[in-house]
């Protein structure tokens, strides 16, 4: 199931590339069948996109991105030319061998300059859009694109606040730069479980991340709870790597709560989707209770009643607690899972 969003993403990209090839065919080779342009476009653009997504030559990708910008730009253009040229030659050779086109071999394998420029332009558009989508997050990107929250909207959402324990001590020992690398790797570890369980990372605040779901999506199959324990399992499963890189395995605290909020797009030069209401504040206060109550994962009883917990999750009712800024008490439940089961979840 986790591969479906990625597959749909690549299908969408492939369709866009194919359509762009059809457009090129209509502009310059209107006498040829339109599928020929689609085939050339796919063979030319997809190798570049696969390289940008680190599906091929990942070490070369890392090395290029470590270079100074002027050198990076020059070498990236050379590499793009090579990848597009290889794709063009492969497409031309295939159609020549299948007798789809009966042109000379040189014409079928040697890429014209305008084909290269057109392919680079299409690839650049796709790479730009996907980078912006990654920067903003899938849900925020489409919400901004469709102006869904241009007017404030009342809705129900689940929030997960997840915070690194001991970040101040780590910074004092290793310095700010090393701490930033530590947090960056930790937040990267969060990304895959959040994506798998259809959540969205809304923000990073210091050493904490805020994850959110529309309430129906978050409680379905207890996705929000599964996400938390998959994050914990992933960290535990990669403990040896953490020890080698940083001399310790990260420990996090997490809190889950859901309810009514107001969602709105704010800003002028810099736009952002922001959530207003007691639900967000209560989740933050609940996360602070993790330290007070000495528990790693807490969920409000209000949210717990709205979902069916996964098999194997152990609950511990901690009773009602006063929460700052809230007029009435909040029911609090601690969640636990056996270590062996967490590891099984991570591998599954």
Residue 296 shares a structural domain with residue 167: yes
Residue 272 shares a structural domain with residue 176: yes
Please give the Cα distance from 239 to 254 (Å, whole number).
19
pLDDT band at 340 (very low <50, low <70, confident <90, very high): very low
Strands 297-300 and 252-266: parallel
State the average pLDDT over residues 73-94: 85
* Of 20-29, 76-85, 87-96, minimum mean pLDDT range: 20-29
Could you tell me the CATH number of the domain that includes residue 326?
A: 3.30.70.1230
Boundary of a domain, candidates 110, 136, 162:
136
The whole-number pLDDT of residue 221 equals 92
Residue 194 shares a structural domain with residue 61: no
> Around Cβ 263, how many Cβ atoms within 10 Å?
19
The whole-number pLDDT of residue 140 equals 60
- This prediction has a pTM of 0.66
The CA distances from residue 199 to 31, 108, 132, 256, in Å, are 48, 46, 18, 13
C-alpha 315: how far from chain center: 30
* Total domains, the chain: 2
Angle in degrees, 0-180, between the axes of helices 69-97 and 113-136, rounded to the nearest 10: 120
Please give the Cα distance from 195 to 260 (Å, whole number).
23
Q: What percent of the chain has pLDDT over 70?
A: 84
Boundary of a domain, candidates 105, 136, 167:
136
- Helices and strands counted in the chain (H then E): 15, 8
Residue 194 shares a structural domain with residue 226: yes
- pLDDT of residue 227 exceeding 70, the answer is yes
Considering the domain boundaries, does residue 143 fall inside one? no
The whole-number pLDDT of residue 2 equals 40
Residue 104 shares a structural domain with residue 210: no
Half-sphere exposure of 268 (CA within 13 A, CB side): 0
State the average pLDDT over residues 25-50: 82
223, 198 Cβ separation under 8 angstroms? yes
pLDDT band at 148 (very low <50, low <70, confident <90, very high): low
pLDDT in tens, 93-109: 998 898 888 888 888 88
Residue 124 shares a structural domain with residue 169: no
Considering the domain boundaries, does residue 180 fall inside one? yes
Residue 34 shares a structural domain with residue 66: yes
Please give the Cα distance from 110 to 100 (Å, whole number).
17
pLDDT in tens, 246-286: 999 999 999 999 999 888 877 766 667 778 888 999 999 99
Give the largest Cα separation in the chain, rounded.
Answer: 81
Q: What percent of the chain has pLDDT over 90?
A: 34
More confident residue, 311 or 13: 311
Considering the domain boundaries, does residue 235 fall inside one? yes
Considering the domain boundaries, does residue 336 fall inside one? yes
Residue listed under structure tokens 């996705």: 223
By residue range, what is the domain housing residue 210?
A: 148-347
pLDDT in tens, 187-219: 989 988 998 898 888 888 889 999 999 999 999
Task: Supply the mean pLDDT for the chain.
Answer: 83
Please give the Cα distance from 171 to 152 (Å, whole number).
39
Considering the domain boundaries, does residue 141 fall inside one? no
State the average pLDDT over residues 130-142: 60
pLDDT band at 289 (very low <50, low <70, confident <90, very high): very high
Considering the domain boundaries, does residue 142 fall inside one? no
More confident residue, 1 or 246: 246
More confident residue, 24 or 314: 314
Listed ranges 7-16, 151-160, 221-230; the one with the highest mean pLDDT: 221-230
Considering the domain boundaries, does residue 243 fall inside one? yes
Residue 128 shares a structural domain with residue 170: no
State the average pLDDT over residues 47-51: 83
Boundary of a domain, candidates 113, 136, 159:
136
**H or E stretch including 298?**
strand 297-300
The whole-number pLDDT of residue 4 equals 43
Q: Which residues contact 197 (CB under 8 A, 6 or more apart)?
A: 223, 224, 226, 227, 230
Considering the domain boundaries, does residue 310 fall inside one? yes
Residue 129 shares a structural domain with residue 202: no
Q: Which tokens is 348 given?
A: 């599954």
Residue 214 shares a structural domain with residue 158: yes
Residue 215 shares a structural domain with residue 124: no
Residue 180 shares a structural domain with residue 105: no
The whole-number pLDDT of residue 343 equals 39
């Amino acid at each position: 199931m986790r591969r479906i969003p990625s597959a749909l993403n690549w299908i969408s990209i492939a369709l866009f590339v194919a359509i762009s090839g059809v457009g090129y065919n209509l502009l310059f080779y209107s006498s040829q069948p339109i599928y020929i342009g689609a085939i050339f476009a796919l063979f030319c653009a997809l190798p570049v996109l696969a390289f940008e997504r680190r599906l091929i030559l990942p070490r070369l990708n890392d090395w290029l991105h470590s270079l100074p910008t002027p050198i990076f730009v020059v070498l990236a253009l050379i590499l793009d030319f090579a990848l597009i040229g290889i794709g063009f030659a492969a497409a031309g050779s295939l159609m020549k061998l299948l007798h789809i086109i009966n042109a000379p071999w040189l014409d079928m394998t040697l890429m014209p300059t305008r084909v290269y420029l057109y392919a680079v332009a299409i690839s650049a558009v796709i790479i730009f859009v996907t980078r912006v989508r990654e920067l903003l997050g899938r849900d925020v990107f489409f919400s901004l694109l469709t102006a869904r929250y241009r007017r404030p909207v009342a809705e129900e959402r689940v929030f997960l606040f997840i915070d690194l324990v001991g970040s101040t001590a780590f910074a004092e020992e290793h310095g700010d730069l090393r701490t930033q690398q530590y947090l960056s790797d930790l937040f990267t570890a969060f990304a895959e479980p959040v994506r798998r369980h259809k959540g969205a990372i809304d923000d990073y605040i210091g050493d904490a991340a805020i994850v959110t779901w529309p309430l129906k999506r978050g409680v379905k199959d207890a996705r929000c709870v599964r996400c938390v324990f998959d994050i914990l399992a992933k960290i535990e499963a990669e403990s040896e790597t953490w020890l080698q890189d940083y001399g310790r395995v990260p420990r996090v605290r997490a809190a889950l709560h859901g309810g009514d909020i107001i969602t709105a797009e704010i800003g002028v030069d810099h736009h952002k989707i922001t959530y207003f209401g007691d639900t967000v504040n209560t989740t933050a206060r609940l996360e602070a209770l993790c330290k007070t109550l000495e528990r790693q994962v807490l969920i409000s009883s209000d949210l717990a009643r709205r979902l069916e917990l996964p098999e194997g999750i152990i609950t511990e009712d901690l009773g009602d607690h006063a929460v700052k800024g809230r007029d009435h008490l909040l029911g609090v439940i601690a969640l636990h899972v056996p270590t062996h089961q967490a590891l099984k979840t991570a591998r599954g």
